[in-house]
Amino acid sequence: MGEILLRKLLGCRDRIARVRAALPAEPRAILADERLEAFISFNLFLLLQDSIDLAAHLIAEQGLGVPDSHRGAFEILAAKAFSRATLPRGWGPWPRCGIGSPTRTAISTRFA
């Protein structure tokens, strides 16, 4: 794996760890703390950007084609067997986090 891909992958891992460390025991507590909500929202937004960038670099390094959109990048990876079945142990399916549309909207409008 190239150095750029490794750095980006480690960056995603670290960002996930920061978000997990900030999560309160009760999810509704996030809504009561505006700073915590902003911290988590911003880091999730950056994680999405990092994931898209990682996908684009992986596609380019492997010569898998040219995606027509961000979604297309992940579709290419899925089609080329970069799926859960090929992920290392412990990288199973993403947990459901229960984030609803208002939070997604806040993330995309506040930090875009």
Domain definitions of the chain by residue range: 3-110
Instruction: Please give the Cα distance from 56 to 69 (Å, whole number).
Output: 10
Q: According to the model, what pLDDT value does residue 17 have?
A: 95
Over residues 13-17, the mean pLDDT reads: 95
pLDDT for 20-55, tens place per residue?
999 999 999 999 999 999 999 999 999 999 999 999
Between 80 and 65, name the one with better pLDDT: 65
pLDDT for 67-106, tens place per residue?
999 999 999 998 886 655 555 555 444 444 444 444 444 4
- Report if pTM > 0.75: no
Is the four-CA dihedral 83, 6, 4, 51 of positive or negative sign?
positive
> If phi over 0 gives left and psi between -120 and 50 gives alpha, with beta otherwise, what is residue 66?
beta
Give the SS3 label for residue 41. Answer: helix
Exposure string (b/e) for 85-101, b if CB count within 10 Å is 16 or more? eeeeeeeeeeeeeeeee
Q: According to the model, what pLDDT value does residue 94 have?
A: 44
